[in-house]
């Protein structure tokens, strides 16, 4: 089985759960991911806790929800699709006319066959989402009254999140962060958590000699990072080299990223470099077009070096936040592409430098066995690259700086740099 098919299998397993920012849906989803990553800890923040300017809301749970006609037929039913209920709806159990009901219905006239995803976390209300086609049909029905029932609870509980720390040989950190609060949509948002789980497993199992410490978070969007930052902001500000939010990373369309607020952090530079070389047709969005958890990580006073990696950017694809964002929209190849992009970025940061040449003046390559003793053209290019790498290894230029100067891919320099480190000519500093 390919890694893409395996990730798609996880997306398929998690799809039916009715997630929200709190409650049993996200709890069960985190437990599922914990089976892949048993080292992941699940932490909670109590309802009512102040996190900066926000308050952790009551925990929301749902058992059942439907609109039934006078004949007892359920015309809209949660068991058919979790998107049918406005996420965080307060409970209701009443009979009402269609006109009264209609005020609490949500549909998309432009996409008459799609059920929209609507939330109301911080304003108490109730509502149903349905296709515009069904809404029009109900309008024509002879039934005069509908039984509207939403069986939800809003009680004191917890906002929970998953945290996995994979220690490296240094305390310098890379953050991977994704959100896990949307019900039954695949690209936004199961692609992020499932790709991130696969990357975490790869780091744990196949990168034992990692230099960086990896902080890997599965949160509810917005309130999750705020609650996490409330607890860990200083540590992150002290240690974070680069961070990536993973969102909408499983479809087969173009790659894209939202830059950090400054647009020039290590995270931005690495993603930009990799995408330019591997996927020249990608889209770069400025922080002005932000929309996911980069909003919190890059806000003034937080200022972490974080950008968001995506394929189709949230809010730009027609399937976004509708029932059309389904298990066919994300594909094994789309997910695998997202997974490989993240791996490439992390791999480059591990080796990024800056490096420092340990000799004064150029090192004597042939004494060290680094100079080829035959004059093939190919060998000459390699020597030239090696000499250029040494010439700029002043403790200030990292591999991206040097690769951009040489107009090559920084990953070509990684092997050369390793060789020079092994020969005692170069010394690696960690990115600041
Ligand atoms: Zn979303």
- DSSP per residue, 190-252: IIHHHHHHHHHHHHHHH-TT-SSEEEEEEE-TTHHHHHHHHHHHHHHHHHEEEEEEE-S--SS
How many residues are listed for the chain in this entry? 432
How many CA atoms does the CB half-sphere of 331 hold within 13 Å? 9
Question: 247 C-alpha vs ligand 1 centroid, how far in Å?
Answer: 9
Work out whether the CA dihedral 213, 219, 223, 228 comes out positive or negative. negative
Whether pTM > 0.95 for this model: the answer is yes
User: How far, in Å, from the CA of 307 to the mean position of ligand 1?
Assistant: 16
* Gap between the Cα atoms of 95 and 424, Å rounded: 80
Alpha carbon distance 369, 367 (integer Å): 6
Q: Cα(250) to centroid of ligand 1, in Å?
A: 14
Which of 5, 179, 150 shows the shortest CA–CA distance to 76? 150
Shortest CA distance to 4 belongs to which of 429, 401, 332? 332
Q: Please give the distance, rounded to the nearest whole angstrom, from the Cα atom of residue 152 to the centre of ligand 1.
A: 22
Q: 182: CA distance to ligand 1 center in Å? A: 7
**Distance set, CA 47 to CA 63, 181, 222, 227, 414 (Å):** 20, 16, 15, 11, 48
Distance 314 CA to ligand 1 centre (A): 7
Cis-peptide into 239, omega within 30 deg: no
CATH number of 59-155, picked from 3.40.50.720, 3.10.129.10, 3.50.30.90, 3.30.110.60: 3.50.30.90
**Cα(177) to centroid of ligand 1, in Å?**
14
Q: In this structure, are residues 334 and 279 in contact, taking their beta carbons and an 8 Å threshold?
A: no
How many other C-beta atoms can be found within 10 angstroms of the C-beta atom of residue 382?
A: 16
Alpha-carbon Rg for the chain, nearest whole angstrom, is 25
Q: Among residues 157, 340, 171, 320, which one has the least CA distance to residue 246?
A: 340
Cα separations in angstroms, 315 against 57, 257, 407: 25, 13, 34
- The residues whose Cβ lies within 5 A of ligand 1, an ion, are 188
Closest CA to 174 of 216, 220, 208: 216
- If 0-12 CB within 10 Å is exposed, 13-18 middle and 19+ buried, where does residue 6 land? middle
β-pairing, 128-129 vs 105-106, is parallel
Token pair for 378: 């190919």
Kindly list the distances between the CA atom of residue 67 and the CA atoms of 96, 104, 116, 127, 146, in Å, as whole numbers in the listed order: 10, 12, 17, 10, 6
Q: pLDDT tens, 232-251?
A: 999 999 999 999 999 999 99
Q: How far is the CA of 81 from the centre of ligand 1 (A)?
A: 17
Cα 84 to ligand 1 centre (Å): 16
**Using CA atoms, how far apart are residues 132 and 115, in angstroms rounded to an integer?**
8
The residue assigned the tokens 């976004």 is 320
Ligand 1 centroid to Cα of residue 381, in Å, is: 48
CA quadruple 389, 391, 392, 395: dihedral sign: positive
Both structure tokens of 50:
């102040």
> How remote is the CA of residue 374 from the centroid of ligand 1, in Å?
59
pLDDT in tens, the chain (432 residues): 999 999 999 999 999 999 999 999 999 999 999 999 999 999 999 999 999 999 999 999 999 999 999 999 999 999 999 999 999 999 999 999 999 999 999 999 999 999 999 999 999 999 999 999 999 999 998 878 999 999 999 999 999 999 999 999 999 999 999 999 999 999 999 999 999 999 999 999 999 999 999 999 999 999 999 999 999 999 999 999 999 999 999 999 999 999 999 999 999 999 999 999 999 999 999 999 999 999 999 999 999 999 999 999 999 999 999 999 999 999 999 999 999 999 999 999 999 999 999 999 999 988 888 877 666 667 788 889 999 999 999 999 999 999 999 999 999 999 999 999 999 999 998 887
- C-alpha triplet 256, 262, 263: angle, nearest 5°: 30
Interval between CA 315 and ligand 1 midpoint (Å): 8
Spatial contact of 141 and 109, defined as CB atoms under 8 Å apart: no
Distance between CA 313 and CA 285 in Å, rounded? 9
Distance 180 CA to ligand 1 centre (A): 10
| Cβ neighbours, 10 Å, residue 205 | 8
Top CATH class, 3-57+158-351: alpha beta
Residues whose CB falls within 8 Å of the CB of residue 380, separated by 6 or more in sequence, listed in order = none
Locate the DSSP E strands across 247-397. Answer: 256-258, 283-285, 306-310, 355-357
Query: Domain residue spans in the chain?
Result: 3-57+158-351, 59-155, 355-428
């Amino acid at each position: 089985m390919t890694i893409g098919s395996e990730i798609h299998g996880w997306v398929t397993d998690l799809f039916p759960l009715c997630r929200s920012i709190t409650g049993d849906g996200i709890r069960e989803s985190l437990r599922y991911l914990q089976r892949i990553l048993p080292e992941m800890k699940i932490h909670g923040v109590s309802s009512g806790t102040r996190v900066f300017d926000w308050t952790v809301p009551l925990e929301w749970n749902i058992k059942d929800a439907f609109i039934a006609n006078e004949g007892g037929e359920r015309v809209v039913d949660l068991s058919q699709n979790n998107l049918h209920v406005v996420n965080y709806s307060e409970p209701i159990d009443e009979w009402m006319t269609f006109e009264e009901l209609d005020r609490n219905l949500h549909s998309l006239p432009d996409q008459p066959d799609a059920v929209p995803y609507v939330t109301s976390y911080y304003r108490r209300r109730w509502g149903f989402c349905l296709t515009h086609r069904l809404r029009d049909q109900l309008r024509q029905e002879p039934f005069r009254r509908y039984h509207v029932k939403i069986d939800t609870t809003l009680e004191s509980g917890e906002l929970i999140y998953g945290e996995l720390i994979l220690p490296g040989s240094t305390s310098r950190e890379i953050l991977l962060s994704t959100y896990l609060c949307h019900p039954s949509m695949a690209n936004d948002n199961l692609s992020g958590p499932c790709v991130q789980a696969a990357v975490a497993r790869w780091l744990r199992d196949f990168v034992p000699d990692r230099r960086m410490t990896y902080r890997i978070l599965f949160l509810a969007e917005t309130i999750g990072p705020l609650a996490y930052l409330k607890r860990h902001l200083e540590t992150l500000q002290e240690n974070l080299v680069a961070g990536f939010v993973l969102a909408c990373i499983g479809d087969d369309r173009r790659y894209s990223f939202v830059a950090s607020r400054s647009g020039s952090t290590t995270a931005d530079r690495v993603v930009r470099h990799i995408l330019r070389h591997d996927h020249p047709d990608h889209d770069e969005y400025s922080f002005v077009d932000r929309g996911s958890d980069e909003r919190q990580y890059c806000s003034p006073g937080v200022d972490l070096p974080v950008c968001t990696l995506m394929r189709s950017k949230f809010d730009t694809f027609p399937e976004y936040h509708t029932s059309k964002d389904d298990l066919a929209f994300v594909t094994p190849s789309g997910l695998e592409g997202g997974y490989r992009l993240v791996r490439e970025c992390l791999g480059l940061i591990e080796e990024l430098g800056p490096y420092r040449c340990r000799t004064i003046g150029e090192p004597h390559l042939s004494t060290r066995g680094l100079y080829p003793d035959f004059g093939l053209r190919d060998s000459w290019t390699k020597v030239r690259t090696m000499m250029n790498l040494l010439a700029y290894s002043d403790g200030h230029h990292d591999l991206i700086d040097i690769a951009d100067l040489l107009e090559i891919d920084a990953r070509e320099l990684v092997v050369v740099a390793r060789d020079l480190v092994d020969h005692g000519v170069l010394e690696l500093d960690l990115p600041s």
